Amino acid sequence: MSGRAALRPAAVLALSALLLTGCTTESKDSPSDDRPDTAGGGAVEALAELEVRGSADSSGYDRRKFGSAWADVDGNSCNTRNDILRRDLADVGLDEDDCEVANGTLEVDPYTGDRVEFTAGRSKVDIDHLVPLSDAWEKGAGEWEPAKRIALANDPLNLLAVGASPNRQKGDKDAAEWLPAHEAYHCEYVALQIAVKRKYELWVTKDEHKAMSTVLEGCSDQKLPEPGEAPTSAPDRFGAPK
């Protein structure tokens, strides 16, 4: 896993475009390094394409409607959480099953800029949904079929290993309500959220759009990652009610 030592927040845009690559059915020893070389367009232009509405309503939201937490949607015998840990951590150590991540290092927490050590069972690392599931529910996902919600919840484009403390401070807040303390990551953070919302046709509030626009004023050339295909999933298998 020595190749992961070079990962930095600046690389997250490209990495997040991958499908679940932490383990494959052929080999669970290392993820694929077949990463896209091109970006998926400009963040400013993509933001302009998003539908803007005045307010959002969270009524009816239930995490279970996005499927069981950390499902194995690609059928590789490794759940999504471990796939993302393997993608984002350096010096990864695996359990006896060659799938569950036992330890590793988040060399640069995108949300704080700090180095964070990961140990299974005593983790200071979370896997964050860049666009929180409750936010997605409020802004379009409440009208989707279960399969699409499961795909969003397990799409690497929308997932990032981060420090547990800032992730829990973020909660279900959108960009108008919360941005990472690590200001150097603001442009990439907003670009990733825009990429997810464009891919899944989610809308933004007026305040959210304004906050994203303000961030991008300082990085008008910010690119998006390639969105990649949505993970395939079987709603009946993962138990997502309508």
Q: What pLDDT score was predicted for residue 71?
A: 87
pLDDT at 170 over 70: yes
Residue 230 domain-assigned (yes or no): yes
Residue 183 domain-assigned (yes or no): yes
Residue 156 domain-assigned (yes or no): yes
Residue 106 domain-assigned (yes or no): yes
| pTM score of the predicted model | 0.81
**Structure tokens, 36:** 């896209």
Domain that holds residue 179: 2-24+43-50+73-237
Residue 55 domain-assigned (yes or no): no
Going by the DSSP 8-state scheme, the letter that residue 154 receives in this structure is T
Half-sphere exposure of 198 (CA within 13 A, CB side): 24
pLDDT at 56 over 50: yes
Range 156-166 burial, b when 16+ CB lie within 10 A, else e: bbbbbbbbbeb
Domain count for the chain, please give it: 1
Q: What pLDDT score was predicted for residue 15?
A: 35
Q: pLDDT of 141-154, one tens digit each?
A: 999 999 999 999 99
Residue 160 domain-assigned (yes or no): yes
User: Please, which residues have CB within 8 angstroms of residue 74's CB and are 6 or more apart in sequence?
Assistant: 19, 20, 83, 231, 232
Residue 62 domain-assigned (yes or no): no
pLDDT at 182 over 50: yes
Ranking 23-27, 67-71, 149-153 by mean pLDDT, the lowest is 23-27
Residue 14 domain-assigned (yes or no): yes
Residue 239's pLDDT band (boundaries 50, 70, 90)? low
pLDDT at 84 over 90: yes
Q: pLDDT of 102-132, one tens digit each?
A: 999 999 999 999 999 999 988 899 999 999 9
